[in-house]
Structure 1
Amino acid sequence: MTEDATPWMDAELEPRERARLLVAAMSREQKIAQLHGAMETIDIYAVSAEAAQGEGGLDAVADQFRVERHVDGIEELGIPRFRITNGPVGVGMGDGTPSPPATALPMAIALAAGFDPELARDYGGIIGAEAATLGQHVLEGPGVCLHRTTIAGRNFEYFSEDPYLSGVMGVEVTRAIQAQDVIAIGKHYVLNDQEVERFRTSVEIDEDVLRELYLLPFEMLVKDAGIAGIMSAYNRIRGVYATENRPVLTEILRHEWGFEGYVQSDFWSTRSAAPSLNAGLDHEMPDAKWLNEQNITAALQDTSLEIETVDRALARRFTQMFRFGVFERPYAPGEIDAAAHGAVSRRIGSQTAVLLKNDGGLLPLDPAVASVAVIGQSTFVDEACLGGGGSSKVIPLYTVPPVEGLRDVLEGLGSPAEITRVMVEKDLSNLGEARQAAEWADVVVLMAGHVATEGADQPHASLPDGQDRMLAELLAVNGRSVVVLKDSNPVLMPWIEAAPAVLEVWNQGAEDGHVVADLLFGVVNPSGKVPTTYPRSEDDTLYAGRPERYPGTDEGDGYPVIRYSEGRRMGYRWFQSEGNEPLFGFGHGLSYTSFELSDLVVDAPDGVAAPVTVEVSITNTGQRAGAEVVQVYAGIPAEGQPPKRLVAFAKVQVEPGATERVRLTIDPGATHHPLSVWDHTARAFRTVTGDYTLYVGTAADSTPLTTTLRGAASGG
């Protein structure tokens, strides 16, 4: 074709106009070919339902079927092959067989523990840059579903139990990805908060709870980050599949929020042709199970689908492809700077680890120690704990195993320490050898944890493979023992009273060995905060004894129904509403120094009708430089509201003996609606009349400074 015959290739035109021109030039067959991905149909998730229970779990199945995530191009129209990669925790399964290696970053839950938007920008920058370098056009992430239960299989891909914290992290990650001209796709929209029966389950939820919690981070992605894509979820919402749910896909997402991007299905989540497209789905992945020529042609003929609806779906995606330069960018994959990106990963990891307990100041360890015993099961002591099973798994460019990392750091500190490693078998058959090593060492580092996977929730919140017994027996041997947890989400700790120090480092990724060593020996002062509450017992959780809340019950429809009947009382809101004391509350995290908050001043001349300014002084009362997170919570004077909700936070670096003045703004008009509740009648967020309490502190259950504001009802 001549240039005059392809006007959509004129880069001077607006993306929307280019998309309109392109769609207008396409034949019906070409249009249908662009509605879906181009992978041979291999239902990896149906296969994995059983395989996930076997050796290697879902990863073993994924390794057999490497997914080429793409849409075929149409050369005569200038449409390029559209390359897609997974990526909430690093560039994972992408277009290519096998998927190209990338930097294995810490898990998303770890990033949220950093409570630092700047870290999220760095994190998203790495993912976006590597996706671009590898020639990918789309990055499937971030994931902003919430941690409703501690045992959900994909909690590691999601950020937090709190919608505001999740939204802040997701917005910054999205901005950084899209700054690299890579399309970000927020997922999984919405209520894919568990993996149990995820293809069948229906979630029943009140509208105000849906709006104030589960939709909130998605709203922030759309309004604050300008996200280009949204991925629909597997589950049903009030009996209707998410891919066919017009109120969610169109009325809320587009009409209310103003979303201008496109909606892609999760893999094999599409359940129909005409109903899905009419509801607002735009693109089926990874193949043409439903949006194929036979189905679309039949739907057009019987008028259950209009060709204008097909055109609309294509124009939405092409607009974003033009917006991000996909048509102009040649496929020229390059080489990732593994060392530079690894250094960023190491910095992120060290600032997201959480010091849960440190009795007697056992940590940081003295580099002059003579001997260190590193003990644990193979996953945690032999290799870097990459974590994240399933489609988001990253093939690492390199890894730093635990002992190697310890040796590197200790050598840099001039330490003479001798390191002994004991790998404990999963059946604990060599626990005697481990006890002997622990008895003779000056310091013992006990490494334990778990690696979650997409496709299956954990059966319980305890450590698997007898690790609780392992820890209990070894902690009794040596009083100078540190527990290093490498988790995908919070776990129960029946041995906690015997552990003088506990450091949660999450599934760290490639730089595991260096990060853990940096923290243990004080090269870095830990500053992470718990992004999801650690219960003392599963009896304290919102679903204990309530199967209708989780994992769901068959109410006669033939599929499981999960009822979010706890309402807004989820996460720390649940524990505070019920009066349950968690093991470690939301926002908790210790340091190798100490801090004190004082001099709270709140400026709110218009009550909650205008931005509220909160100022507080934070003093480092210890001997080391460190960072603390100032957290502001609000008590909303409305029926059904929990005691507190997070409305602002700031991570502050403070030198020993110094005082920093911290200023935070709570804008009632912000996209996270910090001081509002959902009014279903008005179909809008509004403030209510009454006294609003502001709580300022360093954790949800540690807010020593309070003040009260007067609020009046509003309509917005």
Structure 2
Amino acid sequence: MSSDDEIDAVLKKLSVQDKIKLLTGLGWWHTEPIPEHDIPSVRFSDGPNGARGTRFFNGVPSSCFPSPIGLGSSFDTHLVDRIGQAIGDECRAKSTHVLLAPTVNTQRSPLGGRGFESFSEDPHLNGIIAASYIGGVQTKGVSATIKHFVANDQEFERFSISSEVSERALREIYLKPFQIAIKKANPWALMTAYNRVNGIHASENNKLLQDILLKEWKYKGLVMSDWTGVYSTVESVKAGVDLEMPGPSVMRGQALLRTLVAHKITLNDIDKRVANVLKLVDRAKESGIPFSGPEGSVDTPELRQLLRAAAADSVVLLKNDKHILPLKNSYKKIAVIGPNAKVAITSGGGSAGLLPTYTVSPLQGIREAARAIGADVEYAIGTPSHKYLPGLQQYIWQVDGQPGALMEFWNEAPTPNFISTSNDFGTPLPRPIWSTPTLGSNCVLFDGIDAEKVNTTCYMRYSAKFKPDEDGDWEIGLNFTGHANLFIDQKLIIEFVPTASGVDGFNAPDVRAVAKDLRAGQEYDLEIRMSNAFFASSGIPFPCWGVMRAGAVKIVDADVSIREAVALAHESDVVILVIGLNNDWETEGADRQDMELPGRTNDLVAEILRANTNTVIVNQSGTPVSMPWASKASTLLQAFYGGNELGNGLADVLFGLVNPSAKLPLTFPIRLEDNPSYPSYGDNGQESGKIYYNEGIFVGYRGYEIRKLAPLFPFGFGLTYSTFEYSNLATTEVSPDGHFNVSFDIKNSSRVPGREVAQLYVSDAQSSRPRPIKELKAFVKVALNPGETKRVDIALDREALSFYNEVDMCWVAESGTFGIHVGASSTDVRLKGEVKLDKTFTWTGL
């Protein structure tokens, strides 16, 4: 990377206009270039479970790894490093220099819409796994971007809400994963949060950015805003935000030049920000990744195996009371039931979404594994669980027989009555100004459109052959950021009239209607005619053509479909019941309102458990859900969102090809009211634009333990097909600066090779301040053959002993005796010991 002197030399050559230009993005995914000074345009891509590339619409397919919460459940730093490297390779294939990941915001509540994007409720696990992810990505020359700095822990009013959090909780819980990852992996970029922190927006918060990040932690990377997350001109620059994204600028550009002329800001302030942009440009040059290069995909046998291993290692075995698992050869008829079985739900929604290179659903994976043991598999949905109607992609074909639909664009209305409900289909349409095929029916038209031909205010037609796979009445849904009509065989089915709520194409409800008496395998002409004029006039500050979402599902009588599933369960040897949430319910932009499973899922579970005691329940969600039937279920797994290979990974665990080893990275409460953040969360907890973090440092398992409140499943819990014994705990003396070692033996006392996640917690009963009962400070994943014993040695330092003193504004390790707790979960402690620190000491910084 260029030296400070070389950066200074470039700064001297740049005009003021050039410098201001560099402080904002070029469109959604690039920085502004200045070719005459050899400053190319750096490319960004969303993460965190894959590298999507530069397009929401018609993007190049990508590998989708398990959502970060699933990676956190692996407790496997080596695996996460390999995944980071693979995502780095995908970035290189897409000519991407900066990956907008990982997310390390803390899961205060099960209701967080983006909870699936973070690794854990625990700051140590969150930070350590993030560091492994960052290290893997950056070995490929790709910049990782740790986000969202900080306390961006809910979606409700996310642009304006003020996270009211104590200094100690801010330091010990919310800043800590950032601190750990910056110290251990040095991410080359950091993204600020949308929200306010104690009244001041994160993107202009001097305390967070100047005092803590830049001065105390001495962070040297680039600081960028979240997309549209800059709300000031002078304040954001002075606080330390180098880059406003996306472009064109809203708060900088000419406004920044005007403040410079008015001496509200100095050229030195601007130069500091530009210098960090130039450093990022230099890193991009050194990577060898081409600028403005093509976008491709990576799909190799080795990558598919990594995707499969990652999916399997994210599955947590919660109950196996009857030892039904692993499934045996004696099970000859297997019923697969449930709304999450047939569709591959690879990820949560929002900016984490991407177009996978391929997918394997749970049903596909189970069928393939069942063939190996000579078992037959039959499927029944039981009950639907969608919030929005499932997309059309599995039912639509172009006129030439290729999958998908044709999207056409006109700058003027093609006919006088183009959007009319009584459209004259006999009038031929003029040639479109531009057209493109598309595979799906969730069209986020933020990019991927030829902007040189298509105006941002335009008319569109989406057309395809619609081929249902079942006879009956079908429910059809449409959502569009504008005015739209949907026709089937030239008959009006839906008129979508724009409203204020309809501008939000991501989360606004579908308008729905019924198409009667459709026949399986028959082709119907499906056409959606649209005008985005209403959306285009809504004042969005960057080029965007709107969002269109269309879906369809066969209408089923819930009572009938549950009875059909129960009948199948009765006649089967074993049932695999796959339930949960999906990217309708867990998505950027919207928190959940409760922990309940959708629709009549709980009724389905209760009926299936009564019908067949050999029922394996698989719950797929990014965060906890209520399980009122848990005590009656003998076999239960938590699958999270598993990426491309989620079906094969799940099947590998169910059939014993992989011995499960994952642990819960967050606590599953019995009731929402048990969660420490209740009721101060989301729209139920806000007060005058503020959300109070009343639980302080007692987040997650810390809160349950201090209140002596048993959860449904505790933090760090997960079973395997093996059993393990812990013994021979030993500790070393604590050095004056806080270093010490803890060692112990782990033995595989079963006949099955397995891996155990040993967790080390520290307690401080003598502290002068209130502290959690215990806190995770280290973990290690150990692979053991049957009968094998390994000695584990863990080195710890002052971080394991400390708390934050908010009076003196420093970290403190107090003299006294500390408890050492080693075990298989936060509640399953197998070994206890002590260490003693002779003299109190304090420090600031990393």
Q: Tell me what 2:661 maps to.
A: 527
* 1:230–1:261 CA contact under 8 A, matched in 2: yes
2:716 — aligned with what?
587
| SS class of match (2:745) | strand
Residues of 2 paired with 1:577 and 1:171: CA distance? 29
Tell me the CA shift for residue 265 of structure 1: 0.4
Partners of 2:343 and 2:119 in 1: how far apart? 24
> Deviations 1:346-379 (Å, cap 9, x if unpaired)?
11121221100111211111134211110011xx
What is the CA–CA distance in structure 2 between the aligned matches of 1:175 and 1:102, rounded to whole Å? 21
How far did 1:382 drift?
Answer: 1.5
Distance in 2, matches of 1:261 and 1:594, equals 45
Q: Is residue 2:386 matched to residue 1:256?
A: no
Distance verdict in 2 for CA 1:15–1:337, change over 3 Å? farther
1:548, 1:561 within 8 Å by CA — same for their partners in 2?
no
Which residue in the other structure is 2:632 paired with? 498
Counterpart Cα distance in 1 of 2:734 and 2:155: 47
Task: Note if contact 2:334-2:375 (Cα within 8 Å) is conserved in structure 1.
Answer: yes
> Which residue in the other structure is 2:687 paired with?
554
2:641 corresponds in structure 1 to 507
- Taking the aligned partners of 1:497 and 1:505, their CA distance within structure 2 comes to 19
The CA deviation at 1:116 is: 1.1
Task: Specify the alignment match of 2:474 in structure 1.
Answer: none
Equivalent in the alignment of 1:616 = 744
* Contact residue 47 and residue 102 of structure 2 kept, 8 A: yes
Q: How does 1:692-703 map to 2 (within 5 A)?
A: 692-703=818-829
1:625 is aligned, of 753, 766, 781, to 753
- Structure-2 change in CA distance of 1:423 and 1:548 (3 Å): closer
Match of 1:51 in 2: none
**Shift of residue 592 of structure 1?**
0.7
Where does residue 778 of structure 2 map in the other structure? 648
Are the aligned partners of 2:134 and 2:144 in contact in 1 as well (CA < 8 Å)?
yes
Higher helix share: 1
* Residues 68-105 of structure 1, C-alpha deviations (whole Å, 9 max, x = no match): 41123222222222111011111135358533211011
Q: Is 1:410 aligned to 2:370, yes or no? A: yes
Q: Contact between 2:731 and 2:834, CA under 8 Å: does it hold in 1?
A: no
Q: Does 1:358 align with 2:324?
A: no
Which residue does the alignment assign to 1:62? none
- From 557, 562, 572, the equivalent of 2:701 is 572
The 1-side partners of 2:5 and 2:685 are apart by: 47
| 4+ long deviations beyond 6 Å | none
1:329: Cα distance to partner?
Answer: 4.0
| Aligned match of 2:800 | 674
Matched, 1:436 2:567: yes
Task: Give the match for residue 177 of structure 2.
Answer: 217
Aligned equivalents of 2:363, 2:63: Cα separation in 1: 20
Aligned letter for 2:756? E
The one-letter code matched in structure 2 to 1:88 is: P
Question: Please, which of 565, 573, 576 is the counterpart of residue 445 of structure 1?
Answer: 576
TM-score (norm 2): 0.76
CA distance in 1, matches of 2:56, 2:278: 22
For each residue in 1:471-516, what CA deviation from the matched residue of structure 2 results, as whole angstroms up to 9, or x when unmatched? 1111111000000111111211101112110011111111011111
**1:609 CA drift (Å):** 4.1
Specify whether residues 95 and 277 from structure 1 end up closer, same or farther in structure 2 by C-alpha distance, changes over 3 A only.
farther
**Structure-to-structure mapping, 1:275-286, within 5 angstroms:** 275-286=235-246
Matched, 1:205 2:165: yes
Aligned counterparts of 2:333 and 2:22: Cα–Cα separation in 1 = 62
CA offsets 1:672-691 (integer angstroms, 9 cap, x no match): x2211112344321211222
Matched, 1:344 2:475: no
How far apart in 2 are the matches of 1:249 and 1:381?
Answer: 45
Give the TM-score taking structure 1 as reference length.
Answer: 0.90
Q: Which amino acid aligns with 1:633?
A: Y
1:684 matched to 2:810? The reply is yes
The offset of 1:15, in angstroms, is 4.4
Distance in 2, matches of 1:212 and 1:176, equals: 26
Determine if the alignment matches structure 1 residue 424 to structure 2 residue 553.
no
AA aligned opposite 1:419: V
Q: Aligned-pair RMSD on alpha carbons?
A: 1.8
Cα deviations across residues 589-641 of structure 1 (Å, max 9, x unaligned)? 001111111111111254x7432211111111112011111111011232211
Distance 2:680 2:298 in 1: 47
Deviations 1:524-551 (A, max 9, x none): 000000100000111211233x347874
Residues 84 and 137 of structure 2 are in contact (CA less than 8 Å); yes or no, is this contact kept in structure 1? yes
Question: What's the counterpart of residue 65 of structure 1?
Answer: none
Whole-angstrom CA distance in 1 between matches of 2:656 and 2:681? 46
Deviation for aligned residue 1:21: 2.4
Query: Structure 1 residues 708, 329: closer, same or farther in 2, change over 3 A?
Result: closer
8 Å contact from structure 1 (residues 462, 492) kept in 2: yes
CA–CA distance in 2 between the matches of 1:173 and 1:661? 27
1:541 matched to 2:529: no
Alignment match, 1:715: 842
- In the alignment, is the contact (CA less than 8 A) between 2:22 and 2:277 conserved in 1? no
Q: Is the 8 A contact 1:371 1:417 kept in 2?
A: yes
> Structure 1, residues 183-228: CA drift from partner, whole Å, max 9, x if none?
1110000000111111111011111111111101111222211111
Q: Which residue of 1 aligns with 2:416?
A: none
How far has the Cα of 1:575 moved from its partner? 0.3
- 1:191-340 matched pairs, under 5 angstroms: 191-325=151-285, 329-331=289-291, 332-333=293-294, 334-340=296-302
Residues in 2 aligned to 1:201 and 1:677: alpha-carbon distance in whole angstroms:
28
Supply the distance in 2 between the matched residues of 1:271 and 1:589 (Cα, whole angstroms): 44
Question: How far does residue 240 in structure 1 lie from its aligned partner after superposition?
Answer: 0.3
1:471 lines up with 2:598 in the alignment: no
Mark the runs of 5 or more structure 2 residues left unpaired by the alignment: 385-556
CA contact (8 A) 2:163 2:197 kept: yes
Secondary structure at the aligned position of 1:705 is classed as strand
Asked whether the equivalents of residues 93 and 391 of structure 1 are also in contact (C-alpha less than 8 Å), the reply is no
Note closer, same or farther for the CA distance 1:17–1:405 as it changes in structure 2 (3 Å cut).
Answer: farther
Given the alignment of the two structures, is residue 665 of structure 1 paired with residue 795 of structure 2, yes or no?
yes
Shift of 1:288: 3.4
Offset at 1:326?
5.7
Structure 1 match to 2:594? 460
**Residue 50 of structure 1: aligned partner:** none
2:169 paired with 1:36:
no
* 2:81 matched residue in structure 1: 121
Which residue identity lines up with residue 569 of structure 2 in the other structure? A
2:287 and 2:840 map into 1 onto residues whose CA distance is 50
Unmatched 5+ stretches in structure 1: 1-12, 40-67
Q: 2:692 maps to which residue?
A: 563
Partner of 2:389: none
Distance 1:521 1:543 in 2: 38
Taking the aligned partners of 2:51 and 2:618, their CA distance within structure 1 comes to: 27
Give the secondary-structure state (helix, strand or coil) at the position aligned to 2:381. Answer: strand
Give the structure 1 partner of residue 413 of structure 2. none
Identity %: 34
CA distance in 2, matches of 1:15, 1:471: 63
Equivalent residue number for residue 360 of structure 2: 400
Distance in 2, matches of 1:82 and 1:273, equals: 23
